Amino acid sequence: MRVTEMDKLRDEVEHCTKCPLYHSRKQVVFGSGNPEAPIFLIGEAPGFEEDKTGVAFVGKSGQLLEKILLACNFNREKHVFMSNIVKCRPPQNRVPATVEQAACLPYLEKQIELVHPQIIVTLGSTALKGLFGENLRITRERGNWKLWQNYLVMPTFHPSALLRNPNLKRDTWEDFKKVIVKYREIVDQNHFCKYI
Ligand code: SF4
């Protein structure tokens, strides 16, 4: 079997001890999906279920994300690659500390370089700030295309925020509709979505 750059990176990350989160993790959650996906989704950090299974976005918020992707007619294995700002679960699901984010960010940057997506979607405040800096606010930036290292980025809410506050679902769906429109513009003009 051919060992890809992504396989090598996965192996490196799975043995990582660069920040204190390695003490408490059960396993590293590297990320999953199509390594050549046109869309790269970035979340905050693995949660309980992800830490247990080693798979990104499998807990309750992952299930909600799956529903959103299905509504967009995006398939997890074909259209997207998904990962997080940090690859190890912070204790009690706290927001990863700045030092932890800084230690882990080079892995995400390398993943993005290897996948080379046409569209990045940041989910939640931590992912947005992780790419663009601390002084951005998700409530102000969501729904507006941004550029990060020449990649198009759509910031939106994290699905866990939608679970806490269902009123955010409408805005989130508006943001994903923009992603569908952009996807049709730059990736596949025939992409079908029954909602738009
Ligand atoms: S969170 Fe990232 S930097 Fe920290 S130990 Fe895990 S893989 Fe390494």
Q: How far does residue 192's CA lie from ligand 1's centre (Å)? A: 38
In a domain, 138, yes or no: yes
Range of the domain at 65: 5-184
CA angle, 54 then 58 then 60, to 5°: 140
pLDDT for the residue 15: 97
> Cβ of 39: how many Cβ atoms within 10 Å?
25
In a domain, 189, yes or no: no
In a domain, 196, yes or no: no
Residues 103, 14: Cα–Cα separation, whole Å: 14
CATH number of residue 73's parent domain: 3.40.470.10
Count the residues in the chain.
196
| Below-70 pLDDT ranges, the chain | 1
Residues 102, 92: Cα–Cα separation, whole Å: 20
Which of 21, 44, 89, 94 gets mutated to test ligand 1 (max ligand atoms within 8 A of its CB)? 21
In a domain, 190, yes or no: no
Q: What is the pLDDT of residues 22-78, one digit of tens each?
A: 999 999 999 999 999 999 999 999 999 999 999 999 999 999 999 999 999 999 999
pLDDT for the residue 2: 76
Is this prediction's pTM over 0.85?
yes
For residue 153, the cross-strand partners are 120, 146
Ligand 1 atom at shortest distance from the alpha carbon of 16: 8
pLDDT for the residue 1: 65
pLDDT for the residue 3: 82
Residues 159, 165: Cα–Cα separation, whole Å: 10
Q: Supply the mean pLDDT for the chain.
A: 97
pLDDT for the residue 38: 98
Q: How far does residue 173's CA lie from ligand 1's centre (Å)? A: 31
CA angle, 27 then 118 then 50, to 5°: 15
Number of domains in the chain: 1
